[in-house]
Structure 1
Amino acid sequence: RQKKTASHTVTELENPKDCSQAGKPLFCPSHPTEKLSLFCEQCDQPVCQDCVLGRHRQHTYDFPSNVIHRHGDTLRELLKSTQQHMGTLEGVLSQVDDMGSAVRSRAEAVATEICLFASGYVEAIEEHRDRLLKQLEDLKVQKENLLHLQKAQLQQLLLDMRTGVEFTEHLLMNGSDLEILITKGVVSSCLTKLNSIAYSSHPSVDDRIQFSTQEKAGQCRGYEVFGAILNKVVDPARCTLQGEDLHSAHQNQLIGFTLLCCDSMGEQMGRGGETVQVTITHRDKKDCAVKPTVCDNGDGTYCISYSPEEPGLYAVCVCVKGQHVQGSPFSLMVKHKFREHQGVFHCCTFCSSGGQKAARCACGGTMPGGYQGCGHGHKGHPGCHHWSCCGQVKESSECLGGPPSDTSQRSLLRTVAL
């Protein structure tokens, strides 16, 4: 009923065959009495003759029969491309549906795996729990048995002492002088024997039973489990220090020693996590402290490394849980910078110099025949490889100084060069 659609033909969608416009003229929306007989190329729409004379006056136009082949080809290309996209989309939709089914199937399979894993993990944890409780019960029974045994021994010793004391008191109060003198030897021997019996003034065991949730407990049913009962407690008085150069070091040289933590029975802890404090301070220069590095090996041993910058005497303190360990504190002598060898580490001057007679060595060895240096098995030869600059037989040793006084600097330099 609107002006723009008054000339349009409306038909039912159920009967598309009845809506064919073939043979029926189409009228212009702007000029309802004029037929659409032309096509405006610039506006890309059908127009009537009045439109061409009006607002489409300067536009290029032609008859529909002349341009239909070109526009039809364009539509057919677009139609073909759209049909291809439709096929692709249908394939993608099919793949999406298939992937959805695969995702659901895979999710169900993974859910089954998770349930199996969780149930197995729960069983492993429960089994580990039962083992821990059994271990705890065994440990409790062991400690109780030791306490019962100690209690029985102490009660028997107390009973023997009480009997001896009562007998002796009764003898001294009611016995005659002759009776006391007659039984004195037996009573003295009995009391001396009772007094000589060694007994512990403390319970034979302690109540130090701990549970660590962070301790690795190996595998149970193929699962890694945590949690262990710890009945060992570190005893600083039993901890020891180990190292070759514990009391000596060189300036600016990285050196260290090992701390071995033990329990009250002297057994290695076998685990780490202890609080270890190490301080290294200069005896004369209080502000000159060395910052050590403590490395926990996880087996009850700790590596302490440091590099002193100033020579002199240092005091080293090693504490575990705030208490000094065995040998702490101790003195550390830091020598001047390590003296590198300036010579050659050789078997003898004869070999290293190629048989030069003037080549000398700080070992002081000589050879017959006018040779001023050492040779195998001759006088002064140390019998092994040694340094030509100081005669040291250890290759990693510190150089002790220059050659003997009768060795010229020129000969030494010659040996070094060789």
Structure 2
Amino acid sequence: MNVKEFCEKYYVERNGTNCLKWDALDTRFGDPELISMWVADMEFKTPECVTDALKERIDHGIFGYSYVPDTYYQAVIDWEYNHHGYKIEKDWIRTSPGVVSALYWAVNMFTKENDSVIILTPVYYPFHNCVKDSNRNLITCDLNYDNGIYTINYDKFEENIIENNVKLFILCSPHNPAGRVWKEEELERLLEICEHHNVLVISDEIHQDLVFGEHKHIPTASIANGKYEDMVITAFASSKTFNLATCLTSTIVIKNEKLRNTWDEFTKIYNQVEVNIFGLTAVEAVLKGGEEWYQALKEVILHNYNTVVDEMKEFPDTYIAPLEGTYLLFMDLRKYIPLNQIKEFTQDKCRLAVDYGEWFGENWKGFIRLNLGTHPDIVLKAITNIKDNLRNIKNK
């Protein structure tokens, strides 16, 4: 299935469907007429295997208490091994209503108030929120940035851990919004530092399936043949890959028995809810039958990325990073737009709703994050608006 065929078959208009991405533009941005390029959500219907499985469940007509079936566990285990080479066991798996929920739980179950938690910025803003909302001490370590290329400052990372007696590291892999797919040696160096200083690692790997070219997602817990597995808790979901965000079903992998027991005791107190039968049904179905859709989606994202790169050649100092992972693009506008005019330029002139750089870290104002998980026509319109308005500024 090529890009055109995929879009004709699966693209859907979302206005008027209680859609956060489009119908909340007035509330979130004060303007309902913007082109929505912000939240990590897509305009593509899920594969037929999902709707078929949900229809079958609905036709049964009973939506009572349920549990996680063995077939669900096996689908997760098979997908993780077949796509990422990580062999996990059923006993290690827990579920949560979302990866963000799991991050909030982890901060509260594995640290105390005023403990320090470190993150690599710029990074997805719920990483910041789950620490600050829980009355923990947020430690940010900026990635090195060199004209669109993001790398880790290991010395600063370790220095921050030592100076602040950090207890927990929340890792984003692949990294949102920088789009980095961390190499094995990068992950191993981070884990070495954390092990040396007794820092627990929570690895958010929700974008694990959205990796491009020669890049390969390496599950953090699998590094060095599982050497660090006992100090890593992994969180991932099918929600980004298959557009299932409100199915509220994510996977948590915890090999260490002591950590699992802590997780179970905490969730027994603070998460006394039943499993979501629709989420379990959708995720199991898509992991078993969504491969063709998934591969075609990646072609759409790659096509959209290439469109942006081609269109922005006139403005090379926007420093568009190579597409390694995620369907998100972090663009640097600082060479062209004064920092105090970024919102005016992006929203009022370009007519775009985007995620702003400062949402991901205080030192990243002047960047914007664009969502490539949408129809190519929407991406082309958005990037044309940026290009045309940059050209107007350049020609003045």
TM-score, normalised with respect to structure 2: 0.20
Which structure features the higher share of helix residues?
Answer: 2
TM-score, normalised with respect to structure 1: 0.19
Question: Whose RCO is larger (CA < 8 A, sep 6+)?
Answer: 2
Larger Rg: 1
